[in-house]
Amino acid sequence: MRMIQKQELLLHKSIAIIGGGPGGLTLARLLQLKGVQVRVYERDHSQEARVQGAIVDLHFDSGLRAMEATGLMEAFKANYMPGADKYRLLDPKGHILLDEGNQAGKPDFGNPQFRPEIDRGALRDLLIDGLLPGTVLWDRQFESMKEVDNKWELQFKNGTTAAADIVIGSDGYRSLIRPYLTDANALYSGATIIQGEIDHPKSACPEFYQLVNQANLMAMGNGATIAAQPRGDGGLTFYAASMYPENWVKLSGIDFSNSEEVQNYLINHYEGWNSIFFTLFKACTHFVPRPLNYFPLEHRWETKNNITLIGDAAHLMPPNGEGVNLAMLDALDLSNCLTSTATFTDLHDAIAAYEKIMFDRAEPLCKETIEGISDFAAPTEESVQELIKMLS
What residue numbers does the annotated binding site cover?
50, 57, 120, 312
Q: Which residues are known binding-site members for FAD?
A: 57, 120, 312
* String of DSSP letters for 229-292: EE-TTS-EEEEEEEE--TTHHHHT---TT-HHHHHHHHHHHTTTS-THHHHHHHH---EEEEEE
CB 1 within 8 A of CB 130: yes
Please report, for residues 114, 199, 229, 272, 277, the alpha-carbon distance to residue 263 in angstroms, rounded to integers and kept in the order given: 36, 17, 19, 15, 11
CB 34 within 8 A of CB 339: yes
Listed in order, strand segments (DSSP E) in 295-374 are 307-309
Residues 6+ apart with CB under 8 A from 383: 220, 374, 375
Q: Which residues are known binding-site members for NADPH?
A: 50
Which among 43, 35, 44 has a CA at the least distance from the CA of 14? 35
Report H helices in 3-134.
22-33, 63-70, 73-79, 120-129
Would you give the DSSP letter of residue 224? E
